[in-house]
Chain A
Amino acid sequence: MSEYSKDYTVDELMTVLMAREVRNDDVMIVGVATPMVWAAFTLAKVTHAPDAIYHYIMGNTFVMEPRQVSLLYLEMNTARAYRLQDSVECTLESLPSDKLTTIEFFRPAQIDRYGNTNNICIGDWDKPKIRLPGAAGILDFSMFYARGSFLYTPRHDTRTFVEKLDFISGVGFPDGKPSICGGSGPQCVITNLAYLDFDDDTKSMRLGSLHPGVNLETLKDSTGFELIIPNKLKETGPPTVSEITLLREKVDPLNIRKLEVLSGKEREELLNKVIEIELRRENKYPKLLV
């Protein structure tokens, strides 16, 4: 057993927890503009899940080789090293299959106690206060995965965790019941404060473990509905030194995953730095990690 890291940031903790969800026989969907998911899957590939396969939405391709996370060159990674490629039909036909794709992380703008999610709008759909970019394939596939769907958000607050969604664009356990489409439903929600899962009987969201340094009151105050709190509180197992070293030095040395966590000026500075470094690169292919 590797020793625990004493020095890690919240994006690193979340990425490590997401990586730990991956199994060696998984097929992992990587979407567009989700560098934290890409980093997590790649970390899994270079640690405990070397045989897992990437399924890149970006190219509708299956890819074996892990490569360093990149902002500008994701397309090269997916188009060049492809195993299968068939326009979008591949996505349409293979996602509901239990074999062709097994694990996907969704990032909801809003989530309710049953793991239903919203990525469409804040306020009424007819006259939205905020129109969000959209839910893309979440509408189609959130209820299909045999292994269930996986959720993450670095914004654990009462704007994200709400009593009632403004629009249901992802199906969790509707009214506490499994979806009529089959699938195992949401398995966990990994946030900046805690690891959450769902109660076996009521299908309602439950505290799995609190991240080190987070207290229960903060968690409750940051959640817009009542979480099930187990009698015995558990603390999230921190990242190991080896996980953190791999993440920082090999998987995502430019910290691209942090773009999902930061906001404002800090985020813009990181974005500019990543762009500057990547544009300067002679070899544009993201670095192979095998």
Chain B
Amino acid sequence: MVESKLMTLEEAVSTYVNDGDIVGIGGLSFWRKAISACREIIRQNKKDLTVCTFVGGIDVDMLIAGRCISEVKSCFVGMEIFGMAPHYRKAVESGSIKISEESEATIGLGLRASYLKVPFMPLKGIIGTDMPKVRKDIKQIEDPLGSGTQIMAVPKIDLDVAILHVPYADEFGNGNIPGAVWMDADMAKTAKKTIIICEKLVETEDIRYLPGKAQLPMQTTNAVVKKPFGAHPTSCYPFYTFDPLHIQCYLKTNFEEYKKKFITNKTAAQYLEEAGGVQTIYNILL
């Protein structure tokens, strides 16, 4: 008998996210980000996390504002058309967090190196940029097989925990993403522990009929959490798009006030109510 991995968000974060962990967050900028988990991490006051995400947005910015992060590994952190990520920018400029400068490929190949159990992956890119000057752990080498080609050795990225928001999952941890998967599947394969947060809990049989089936297979999953609108204010295709009004509200509000209104002691339902309730849900539903 396969056991259910269903638990509350509170349980999942307190069990699998530890101070000092390297945490992978799935999605991309404003799209399919595990924001409910970011709020829970702030509520539980986790410290010294290194966050690794392909493209960071409000997730990274909020965790910095909540003082949970000491290092960021990402190739871009911004608020898309809404401008720069304010707390990220301030933290980097004041030197209060560490940056590991990344590109799309150093993250993609780094995660792949980790699950292939090799110390590095070769990349024919970056050569000629200043990135190696600020990443002493990346090295230009000559093809060891003798072609004479110059390549970059990109180190592996080992994640302690991956936190992925998906539209569909079963209670055993099979996750399905009908839209873009980005780094999520690689993160699930790499991380020591994986938390999947889903919009809709379905039967295993339903996963078989969804396009892409179980891109996140159950054996890599440790916890399944059901949290409708849990990606809000980012998107979750095919259910809803990102909430531009809430993102504007986030950018205009002092973080302590924001935290009081939307994060501290708030249940998921209270959060949605504060964020505009039914009208907001109507706004963003596709």
Decide if A88 touches B186 in the complex (CB within 8 Å). yes
Decide if B128 touches A171 in the complex (CB within 8 Å). yes
Q: Is B145 an interface residue (CB 8 A)?
A: no
Assuming A125-B101, A133-B77, A279-B283, what are 11 further A-B pairs, CB within 8 angstroms?
A61-B180, A73-B286, A79-B180, A92-B108, A96-B125, A120-B130, A128-B93, A134-B74, A134-B102, A171-B128, A181-B124
Decide if A130 touches B93 in the complex (CB within 8 Å). yes
Give Cα A61 to B212, complex, Å: 14
Decide if B81 touches A33 in the complex (CB within 8 Å). yes
A-B pairs, top 5 by smallest CB distance, nearest first, are A133-B78, A79-B179, A139-B103, A140-B125, A134-B76
A169 contacts which chain B residues (CB < 8 A)? 129-131
A33 contacts which chain B residues (CB < 8 A)? 29, 78, 80-81
- SS class of chain A's interface: helix, strand, loop or mixed? loop
A130 contacts which chain B residues (CB < 8 A)? 89, 93
Give Cα A82 to B282, complex, Å: 26
Decide if A135 touches B182 in the complex (CB within 8 Å). no
Q: Is B20 an interface residue (CB 8 A)?
A: no
Binding site for B on A (CB under 8 A): 32-33, 35, 58-61, 71-73, 75-76, 78-79, 85-89, 91-92, 96, 120, 125, 127-141, 143-144, 167-171, 174, 179-181, 259, 271, 275, 279, 284
Decide if B235 touches A75 in the complex (CB within 8 Å). yes
Decide if B182 touches A88 in the complex (CB within 8 Å). yes
Given contacts A127-B95, A131-B89, A131-B92, contact A32 B80 (CB under 8 A): yes
Most buried by A among B103, B123, B150, B215: B103
Q: Is B172 an interface residue (CB 8 A)?
A: no
Give Cα A75 to B286, complex, Å: 11
Given contacts A76-B237, A88-B104, contact A140 B123 (CB under 8 A): yes
Decide if A135 touches B89 in the complex (CB within 8 Å). no
Decide if B93 touches A89 in the complex (CB within 8 Å). no
**19 CB < 8 A contacts A-B:** A32-B28, A33-B29, A61-B180, A79-B237, A79-B238, A87-B181, A87-B183, A88-B181, A92-B109, A128-B92, A129-B93, A133-B76, A135-B103, A171-B128, A180-B127, A181-B124, A181-B127, A275-B244, A284-B241
Give Cα A284 to B180, complex, Å: 18
Q: Is B75 an interface residue (CB 8 A)?
A: yes
Decide if A135 touches B76 in the complex (CB within 8 Å). yes
Decide if A259 touches B150 in the complex (CB within 8 Å). no
B54 contacts which chain A residues (CB < 8 A)? 88
B130 contacts which chain A residues (CB < 8 A)? 120, 125, 167-169
CB distance from A89 to the nearest CB of B (A): 7
Binding site for A on B (CB under 8 A): 28-29, 31, 54-55, 74-78, 80-82, 84-85, 88-89, 92-93, 95, 101-105, 108-109, 123-131, 133-134, 150, 178-186, 212, 215, 235, 237-238, 241-242, 244-245, 283-284, 286
A91 contacts which chain B residues (CB < 8 A)? 104, 108
Decide if B134 touches A144 in the complex (CB within 8 Å). no
Give Cα A33 to B129, complex, Å: 24
Decide if A168 touches B104 in the complex (CB within 8 Å). no
Decide if A76 touches B241 in the complex (CB within 8 Å). yes
CB distance from A38 to the nearest CB of B (A): 12
A87 contacts which chain B residues (CB < 8 A)? 180-186, 215
Closest chain A residue, CB of each to CB of B75:
A136
Most buried by A among B76, B181, B235, B245: B76
B29 contacts which chain A residues (CB < 8 A)? 32-33
Give Cα A63 to B142, complex, Å: 38
B244 contacts which chain A residues (CB < 8 A)? 71-72, 275, 279
Give Cα A143 to B123, complex, Å: 13
CB distance from B112 to the nearest CB of A (A): 8
Give Cα A143 to B42, complex, Å: 41
Decide if B180 touches A85 in the complex (CB within 8 Å). yes
Given contacts A35-B81, A75-B235, A181-B124, contact A139 B182 (CB under 8 A): no
Given contacts A88-B104, A140-B105, contact A170 B180 (CB under 8 A): no
Most buried by B among A78, A140, A169, A279: A140
Query: Which of A32, A86, A133, A170 makes the CB contact (< 8 A) with B129?
Result: A170
A128 contacts which chain B residues (CB < 8 A)? 92-93
Decide if B103 touches A76 in the complex (CB within 8 Å). no
Closest chain A residue, CB of each to CB of B74:
A134
Decide if B75 touches A59 in the complex (CB within 8 Å). no
CB distance from A255 to the nearest CB of B (A): 13
B134 contacts which chain A residues (CB < 8 A)? 125
A89 contacts which chain B residues (CB < 8 A)? 108
Decide if A58 touches B128 in the complex (CB within 8 Å). no
B31 contacts which chain A residues (CB < 8 A)? 58, 75
B85 contacts which chain A residues (CB < 8 A)? 133
Closest chain A residue, CB of each to CB of B245:
A275
CB distance from B88 to the nearest CB of A (A): 7
Given contacts A88-B108, A141-B125, A143-B128, contact A75 B241 (CB under 8 A): yes
